[in-house]
Structure 1
Amino acid sequence: MPVRDTAAPTLVRPGLWALTLPLPGPPDLVTVYVLETDAGPYLVDAGWDTEDGWRALSRGLAAIGTRVEEVRGVLVSHSHMDHYGLAPRIRASSGAWIALHPLDAAQLSHYRIDPAERLADVLRRAGAPDTAVDRALAGLGKGRGHDAAAPDVLLEDGQRPEVPGWDLTALWTPGHSPGHLCFWEGRQRLLLAGDQVLPHTVVAVHEPEGPQDDPLGGYLESLDRLERLRPTEVLPAHEHRFTDLSGRVGELRAHHSGRVARVAEVLDAGPATAWELAGRVRSRGTLDDLHGFPLHVVVTRTLAQLSHLRRQGLAEEVPGPPPYWAPTGRGVPRSSPDVVGHRPVR
């Protein structure tokens, strides 16, 4: 079977290559970066564990004069399966170590759960009625989670992974996942950004994990930190490389400011569940047309926006059943115009 939708390796800098691997999608592709060293290659991210992905990785490495069996280490930006999936298989073939942030290492157990069960949990937490949960799950069937093996190395913020000849520092950039990592190459001022910031897509943030958790706030603070680095080029895991990080961060700030302000304005009309608010802020005014992963993203996004408002002292969650949200009466955040022409979260 031919490998689909992949291109020849791209030389980014001397000794640094970009390989595109296919995904079940969407998105359809993920970029794995290869760092050449005298000891052998090191990878940043690994791709999804499919036969197409494995063949594309093997073919890409062969094209630059190496093999999977020679890989020495895999630096994984976060635990999502389009980034982590092939890492254990690479380790089994080469003996390479796998590195991941501790918070995302803990997330691996979540992927063993049937995706439909995970969706049902999120919907119930948002206050969706049983009829809506049943409708959302209809036709999804019984799925199988991913039994991903644990990493070998737990990388904390500021640690320097052992990649000979490269000036790499791990940067903890939570938001898209609790333990998302970017990798900063200081000598060449390159930012290997994972899913933290993409040139077109507004990435999703993870579901809040408790009353003190503010994944959207953490994401925005992470963007500020990365902007201060002033990289010469950003190397994301999807779409394409780009140079104007400051401009892109400004677009993302405006986008999220506008979305949060819209949620606050709708909430100001009266208490509502996160499920109700998620529908009301959409142009359709309902979630009835969404199922599966898109529904999971929309509801999680609303929960994250509400948690961000709670951190600002503008909203509070009232225990149920069902749990609902109410404005605190302290005002509404100033709205910024939404960004036009950028794709929604992934």
Structure 2
Amino acid sequence: MSIDEERLSGPGWPLKGGRPRLTRVRPGLWSLPLPLPGPPGDVLVYVLETDAGPYLIDAGWNNEEGWAALTAGLRALGTRVEDVRGVLVTHSHLDHYGLAPRIREASGAWVALHALDDAALVEFRHHPALRLGALLRRAGAPEDAVRRALDDLAGRSGVDIAPPDRHLSDRERPDVPGWDLTTLWTPGHTPGHLCFWDSRHRLLLAGDHLLPRTKVGMHAPRDEDDDPLGDYLGTLDPLMRLRPDLVLPAHEYPYTDLVTRVGELRDAHTARVATTASLLREGPVTAWQLAGRLRRSGTLAGLRGFPLRATVTRALVILAHLRRLGAAREEPGPPPHWTATPLLERCAEAAFRS
């Protein structure tokens, strides 16, 4: 590709404020920010140059602004959307997967995703009110609170999005000529979230798994055996053992000190679990009630839409983790509620004596 590297390779990741711009990460690897309709503002799509044409890590949100930014960014690199050969998607959220089918239609590129997140794409076809209502009722929300939350979604509709061409599994070597990529299955944020490890350049393309500032949420537990937080925490030590020189997340900015960041994330999640355990010791509680008590304000009042869904999901995730540890159990309703087990009490007493 013929590119003006001097013009494009300056610092593109502002640490405070500002917007990222097209940036050369390594020879043949570029960070291309695409705009999002809401927070966090941008998603970082990574462009891998090859002799066969460019390959993309993630695709961006499917709107005209995102498509225009993708087209302009690739043009600045001396290539086109029509030249893209493959799209490797870290996970199924629409700010990462959204443009992938449109890129495939324009170029004939293959689109790859983990099988568990392929299955999750079906959920986006359902009306968002149905998804939110099911979650809130599962958490034990009062029916009037459910109705108020669903009223905010009037006029919204589901998204019928095409599936990928192929599935990527853990420790697979994707066919990207000239690059030494290995897929790493890193569940938690979604069931099939993937990171990509480039051992030659010691780069970890981390998707939403390890952002430098933000603690990402986990997906809602799918059944009684599902522990998204436990799965997430279980990925951290193996990733640290890779000792990457640079972590390339899909939002915010790249960073070098993975060990410190993992310590911060582990401490934050441990503190949330400890707070939840303390609240459970006060007596039975619904996930809806717990979600409010975990907030600084102590209530869910004023929350709507995505913030409400994320806050309630977080409570369900922590409770599922305590259930996996044997420290909490869910009692049938209505409404369903959670109680501490003797194991939680014994752990608390041991911590107090120590």
* TM-score bracket relative to the smaller structure: over 0.9
**Cα offsets for 1:121-153 (capped at 9, x unmatched):** 110000111011112223321311111101011
**Bigger relative CO (Cα 8 Å, ≥ 6 apart):** 1
Distance in 2, Cα, partners of 1:334 & 1:94: 57
Q: Which moved more, 1:151-160 or 1:283-292?
A: 283-292
SS of alignment partner, residue 197 of structure 2: strand
- Give the match for residue 203 of structure 2: 190
1:323 positional shift: 1.0
- Which residue identity is paired with 2:252? E
- Give the match for residue 147 of structure 1: 160
- Give the match for residue 328 of structure 1: 341
SS of alignment partner, residue 18 of structure 1: strand
| Aligned partners of 1:9 and 1:64 also within 8 Å | no
Sequence identity (%): 63
Pair 180,143 (structure 1): closer, same or farther in 2 beyond 3 Å: same
- Give the match for residue 292 of structure 2: 279
Q: In structure 2, which of residues 142, 145, 150 is the aligned counterpart of residue 137 of structure 1?
A: 150
| Aligned partners of 1:279 and 1:286 also within 8 Å | yes
Map 1:286-325 to 2 at 5 A: 286-325=299-338
Structure 2: segments with no counterpart, 5+ residues = 1-17, 349-354
Map 1:98-177 to 2 at 5 A: 98-177=111-190
- Which residue identity is paired with 2:44? T
Residue 264 (structure 2) pairs with residue 251 (structure 1): yes
- Give the match for residue 83 of structure 1: 96
1:7 positional shift: 5.1
| Aligned partners of 2:328 and 2:344 also within 8 Å | no
SS of alignment partner, residue 330 of structure 1: helix
Map 1:209-220 to 2 at 5 A: 209-220=222-233
Aligned residues: 331
Pair 216,61 (structure 1): closer, same or farther in 2 beyond 3 Å: same
- Give the match for residue 204 of structure 1: 217
Residue 51 (structure 2) pairs with residue 38 (structure 1): yes
Per the normalisation by structure 2, the TM-score is 0.91
- Give the match for residue 106 of structure 2: 93
Q: Which moved more, 1:8-17 or 1:133-142?
A: 133-142
1:54 positional shift: 0.2
SS of alignment partner, residue 175 of structure 1: coil
**Deviation above 4 Å: which 4+ runs of structure 1?**
5-8, 332-335
| Aligned partners of 1:116 and 1:142 also within 8 Å | no
Q: Which moved more, 1:179-188 or 1:216-225?
A: 216-225
Distance in 2, Cα, partners of 1:185 & 1:141: 45
Distance in 2, Cα, partners of 1:232 & 1:302: 34
| Aligned partners of 2:62 and 2:98 also within 8 Å | yes
Distance in 2, Cα, partners of 1:23 & 1:196: 18
